[in-house]
Chain A
Amino acid sequence: MTSLAPTPQVIEKAELWLRMYRQMLAIRFFENQVNELYTRALMPGLAHLYIGEEAVAVGVCETLERTDYITSTHRGHGHCLAKGASPDLMFAELLGKKAGYCKGKGGSMHIADPATGNLGANAIVCGSAGIATGAAFSAKRLANGRVSVCFIGEGALGQGVLYEVMNLAELFKLPVIYVCENNLYSEYTHFSETTAGDILARATAFGLHAASVDGQNVRAVYEHAQILVERARRGAGPGFLLCNTYRYHGHHVGDINREYYRSRREEQTWKTERDPIANFAKWLIEQKVATVKELDELSARVETEMKKAVEFAMATPYPSPDEVAEDVYA
């Protein structure tokens, strides 16, 4: 079977698959650098790593245009990168430098970038559900054909505002897709302790088109997202995509001893059996989209790129003191 040539469908999408693979690597290497910066006490504050969940951000964002909108969460680096942000300006922001996306005023949890339609990461759980819905409202009123994607963790299912805006989105038939990343834990609590009933039913109750997908399979995420995005774009209304996934690291970089809320074995199983990058690499090789060597080289290039981005961020200056009171008002 492995000796067969790639199918026409695979060839047609080879470029896309390789770009998605590259984007997932970018997120992983980016986050490894973040962890390193934290461990070496070079980064102020904390950060919430997206490692393990790369297929969700990439699978969804690859279905979007640059002008489409996203909102992100405290665990947002992956979404920002997948939507097109540059790693150097992101690292600069993480280090509180003036060259950063938010001039150093936002930090890890608030990266925003109008150029890529990123309305901002949000440190209030579910804090951006209104914003994402409002961006879809504008898209409809201004008839600019854009869609809006609201990334949330499953912890956000506990916030009432989510149900308010899903109701509004369906009533107004807005082009918004709520992408719920169920990584099983909100901080240190298993979702089954906080989430009654059926998650998808919460969305279908309002009439949203809802689907559930293996969030470790980037092709599956992509295909499901594509359906919801296409529906939204042609005016058929909002969608909800539940992505089942796992974060490899702690809730944040400082959450090291985790046995009291999840076992090492569980972590190990996800990492070895369900890694979205390793499994996708295997598939790419099987399908003859790329060779092992090509993927290794790509990996090395992306890793170097991330190291260079960190070097840039380390060298670039902090904001000057007189900037503290700038940008309070537009």
Chain B
Amino acid sequence: MPEMSVTTDQREITFAQAIREALAEEMRRDPTVCILGEDVAEAGTPFKVLAGLLEEFGKDRVLDTPISEAGFTGLAVGAAMTGMRPIVDIMFGDFITLTMDQMVNQAAKVHYMSGGHWKAPMVMRTTLGATRRSAAQHSQSLHAWFCHVPGLKVILPSTPYDAKGLLKTAIRDDNPVVFFEDKMMYKLKGHVPAADYTLPLGVADVKREGEDITLVATSSMVQVALGAAAMLEEIGISAEVVDPRTLWPLDENTLIQSARKTSRAIVLDEGYERYGVTAEIASLIAAGAFYDLDAPVKRMGAMHVPIPFSPPLEDMTVPTEQTVFEAARKMCGR
């Protein structure tokens, strides 16, 4: 494949294609990698993210399961402990609630509880994000639940490039890793080199450099932050957008250094604002950048309501470019 090694490769693919490529490459590389989930085989998931994998890898490695999230996640924990590297597909992030015992009490603890003797190298892929008019049980962003549990790693990619590199790393990791995909992002296009690459966990990425204010943003909120930053530029405010990319491990240093440089920070995450990711990151920045801050760190997340169906109501529940722009402008005293 000589054309793949061209360094000036400017290939653009969608977020969904990036995920599929990561899976296919890792499945070619390691025969113990397999996929378990509802409608993952012939259907390739309702979002078609896995289309084509069954054809290449067959039914032994791309397995349709019954609608038994706890059952097949538990099966994956045991399979991971005994020589496989399973990837479970949880169709909607809302359904992680069904897997909680398997992830929280089993997968996350088996290494520690056994004194380091067993490990569970598995990946759970699932979704987050509202504004698809899917109502309260198909729209939540519950990633903070897993961030709360020692033993798990949590990844929230925001670009096709990050998605591919981080998913490949997740599959090779020896721990249970949860990988949240924003379902609104599957069609987002971006540059993804054709050559094999991985990205390290625990390294934030500055998506846009700026001087006046730091917008820390995860997953779906990265595009929102970039949009707000463009609006802020028009009124002369230079915003820096920093994406932690992985919530655990967390690159605290990059977040704190950015806030120290700009002296202001807003933390954006689509999970619930109360007791959520924004609270954790804001407190880290508040402590780490205390002497350099010109304003209290602000948090913006989902409103504390079940996600409503009605479009005008649903749109109120999550931060938008406009609301972030307003908050940033106010914080900068304009």
Contacts and interface: CB of A to CB of B under 8 A. Distances in A.
A168 B66 contact: yes
Interface in A144-171: 148, 160-161, 164-165, 167-168, 171
B115 interface: yes
A84 to B, nearest CB: 15
A295 to B, nearest CB: 36
Contact of A103 (B84, B86, B115, B119): B115
B65 interface: yes
Interface of A: 69, 71, 100-106, 110, 112-114, 119-120, 122, 124, 127-139, 141-142, 148, 160-161, 164-165, 167-168, 171-172, 326-330
Contact of A327 (B75, B82, B112): B112
B117 A113 contact: yes
Contacts of B74: 129-131, 133-134, 161, 164-165
Size band of the interface chain B makes with A: 35 or more
Interface of B: 32, 34, 60, 63, 65-66, 68, 70-84, 86, 101-102, 105-106, 110-119, 121, 150-151, 153, 174-175
A168 B117 contact: no
Main secondary structure of the interface of A (DSSP, over half): mixed
Contacts of A102: 113-115, 117
A168 B113 contact: no
B84 A104 contact: no
A67 to B, nearest CB: 11
Given A160-B70, A168-B71, A120 B114 contact: yes
Contacts of A134: 74-82, 84, 86
A172 B76 CA distance: 13
24 contacts: A69-B82, A102-B117, A112-B114, A114-B117, A119-B82, A120-B118, A130-B76, A131-B81, A133-B71, A133-B74, A133-B78, A134-B76, A134-B79, A135-B79, A137-B78, A137-B84, A139-B82, A141-B32, A142-B32, A148-B78, A161-B70, A168-B65, A327-B111, A329-B175
Nearest to A113: B117
Contact of B102 (A105, A130, A142): A130
A157 to B, nearest CB: 15
B115 A164 contact: no
Given A141-B34, A328-B151, A330-B175, A106 B83 contact: no
Given A103-B115, A124-B106, A168-B66, 9 more contacts: A102-B113, A102-B115, A105-B115, A112-B110, A119-B118, A120-B110, A134-B76, A139-B82, A172-B63
A69 to B, nearest CB: 7
Contacts of B68: 164-165, 167-168
Nearest to A160: B70
B71 A161 contact: yes
A139 B86 CA distance: 14
